[in-house]
Amino acid sequence: MQKHNQKEHLYKLLVIGDLGVGKTSIIKRYVHQNFSPHYRATIGVDFALKVLSWDAETVVRLQLWDIAGQERFGNMTRVYYREAMGAFIVFDVTRPATFEAVTKWKEDLDSKLVLPNGKPVPTVLLANKCDQGIDVLMNNGIKMDQFCKENGFVGWFETSAKVMFPFLFKCFSKHREIGFQN
Ligand code: GDP
Ligand code: MG
């Protein structure tokens, strides 16, 4: 319930990455607390809304945009990215190719969207399906912190849409000043 003196913020967050990495599952898990093991490619533009009571004065409405089947082309339109305040780029820890695609997604995003202050949109990297082991991360000896620094990610998390994972939005709290200008 919105209280009288509360301010409401609406934020568009993108969830991008290759087909089958778990974007739809992550959003479902976060918004509806459930997980469906049945594969279903999303068709059509889709988004889910998560309402957070940020603090006594602030309500945050997160609009999580799910790529709807077009990820097979490896890029999205400028219009799709428009006015997003943050992005998650997801890869599947069991499929190295999806990790290799991460930088391509980041480039696509940064080439089509910048914040009003001219900076790139804060982007968090999600290493999903970590319930399956973290072979990709281990085998490649990838230093994720360094990878994030070099490729302009604000951070990374191991996630699993299958088991409960703690949160998605918390990582953006560090970057609140970006989102709470208006
Ligand atoms: P999307 O194409 O990126 O939206 O991927 P989906 O959310 O449709 O997931 C693709 C497949 O991976 C589905 O069969 C999901 O059940 C499965 N999946 C998604 N996330 C996880 C996860 O964290 N762990 C496991 N084990 N399977 C997952
Ligand atoms: Mg999907």
Helices (H) and strands (E) counted in the chain, each on its own, are: 6, 6
Q: Which atom of ligand 1 has the smallest separation from the CA of 25?
A: 7
Integer Cα distance of 163 and 39 in angstroms:
17
Q: Is the CB of 22 under 6 A from ligand 1?
A: yes
Integer Cα distance of 49 and 67 in angstroms:
15
**pLDDT bucket at 170, cuts 50 / 70 / 90:** very low
Integer Cα distance of 32 and 48 in angstroms:
9
The residue whose CA is least distant from atom 13 of ligand 1 is 39
The residue whose CA is least distant from atom 24 of ligand 1 is 129
The residue to mutate among 25, 29, 136, 162, having the most atoms of ligand 1 within 8 angstroms of its beta carbon, is 25
DSSP run (H or E) holding 46: strand 46-55
Span from the CA of 100 to the centroid of ligand 1 (angstroms)? 18
Any idea which ligand is nearest the CA of 46?
2
Residue 180 scores a pLDDT above 60: no
Structure confidence at residue 181 (pLDDT)? 32
ipTM of the complex as predicted: 0.99
Q: What is the CA radius of gyration of the chain?
A: 16
The residue whose CA is least distant from atom 20 of ligand 1 is 22
The model's pTM: 0.84
Any idea which ligand is nearest the CA of 35?
1
Q: What is the pLDDT of residues 19-51, one digit of tens each?
A: 999 999 998 888 876 666 554 555 555 778 888
Pairing of strands 86-92, 123-128: parallel
Q: Is the CB of 128 under 6 A from ligand 1?
A: yes
Any idea which ligand is nearest the CA of 17?
1
Q: Is the CB of 37 under 6 A from ligand 1?
A: yes
Contact 15, 64 (CB under 8 A): yes
Q: What is the pLDDT of residues 122-133, one digit of tens each?
A: 999 999 998 887
**pLDDT bucket at 99, cuts 50 / 70 / 90:** very high
Calculate what percentage of the chain has a pLDDT beyond 90.
Answer: 38
Choose among 150, 34, 30: nearest CA to 102: 150
Structure confidence at residue 38 (pLDDT)? 56
pLDDT average, residue stretch 62-82: 83
